[in-house]
Amino acid sequence: MSANSNSQPLRPEVSAPSFIHLCRLTDDTGLLEHALGRIPRRREGYTTDDNARALWTTTEWLSFEDDSISSEDRSELIRLTDIYLAFMLWTQNEDGWWFNNFAYNRTLEPEELSHDCQGRSIWACADAWIRLEGAHRETARIIVERAIPTIIRIDSHRGQAFAMATCAHLLEASRDGIIVLSEHMRHELNHHLTRLENILNGAFQHFSDDNWRWFEPAMTYSNGVLPWAMLRTYRFTERSETLNTGIESLSFLLELMTTDEGWLRPIGNESWGSSESVSRWDQQPLEMFKLALALEEAALAMELSEQSNHAAHLVGSSKGARSNVIRSDEGYSVMQTKLGQSSLCSGTQFPYRAIRDLCKAWYYGDNDLQVPVVDTEDGSCCDGLTKHGPNINCGAEATISFLMTEALCRRG
């Protein structure tokens, strides 16, 4: 992980990445938040945020066919899933709300309730209920059923995005016979789904103008989760406004995250992004994961749209819908110009999965400094990319972001 600008980018791996560092960061309580280099910083303890992300990661990898990962890795991922589910069960209060920050001695640290953490935790446990097997599913189900009544209290946009996507995920799984929902829970989930769709579509319309097409007046962290949630929700509701919001916001995010040279650049957390400027440093791996997530979801949403003839309906329905589609096409043209790669940007279909794979390439060196931020030997990932080179610390969020991006790029 040298900061040497002459380093050659690593070729992205085709085999499953190593889970050694994920195991290194995990003890019998849960996933530790930070590391000095690659050594866990026990003094800084655990967060429910990271353990929810970790549960999502093990669920994602375990959902692949048996020949996609080795039997040894599968066994290890099952062991880690036990730990992360136990953490989620332990940190959930009786009222369904999660505490987030815990010291190494397992005591709760002073904090305000995190609405983002609540949404993320509900999603991770719901996904485990739907996609895992055996005892894991039952534990996840009980956790989710306790958490559903808290959705009404979530008032951050990212927390609401996760909650909305969760409602769609659960209702779709119930419709398809994967899980069984009570009539009361189905009614509650449908109510929240409609309510949150209206809130997030409304936020996008409120803050958007000709120069700024986003849900908030600034882009901060985990930006891709917002278009992802709109598109994941569309796959269940098939509401055209939700599809338009998801595609248009993703198009705008891509415009801001694509360099003139053709590689992707996370919006830096030095000063984030606004209509006036976009921060270049420090670049966080989490942004690449969430962009990859949104791009994969866009590919699935557009496949559904084509199958159900929604694309033709959107072009010919209302003036507002036509405007949204045109704006998405303009974003596509910007991407074509910036990427300058006919193999990626040819034909009439926007190459969502091809751009998704560029998110993975960022980790291996297709970035501003042309240096890798991952080590394929142990699956560790640097916490960020600064103007001086990679941050040598390899904490939980960065490592999970890399592992999730790797998993997403194996879909489709």
Write out pLDDT tens, residues 88-139: 999 999 999 999 999 999 999 988 899 999 999 999 999 999 999 999 999 9
Domain boundaries, the chain: 20-408
Contacts 24+ apart (CB under 8 A), 333-341: 334/254, 334/255, 334/258, 335/251, 335/254, 335/255, 335/258, 338/258, 338/259, 338/260, 338/261, 338/262, 339/258, 339/262, 340/262, 341/262
Write out pLDDT tens, residues 246-261: 999 999 999 999 988 8
Distance, CA of 338 to chain centre: 24
Provide, rounded to the nearest whole percent, the portion of the chain with pLDDT above 90. Answer: 77
Q: Please, is 256 exposed, middle or buried when counting C-beta atoms within 10 Å of its C-beta (0-12, 13-18, 19+)?
A: middle
Write out pLDDT tens, residues 163-210: 999 999 999 999 999 999 999 999 999 999 999 999 999 999 999 999
Pick 20-408's CATH classification: 3.40.1280.10, 3.40.50.880, 3.40.30.120, 1.50.10.10. 1.50.10.10
Confidence of residue 13 (pLDDT cuts 50, 70, 90): low
Distance, CA of 398 to chain centre: 12
The predicted pLDDT at position 299 comes to 96
Helix pair angle (157-175, 225-237), 10° resolution: 30
Residue type, 212: W
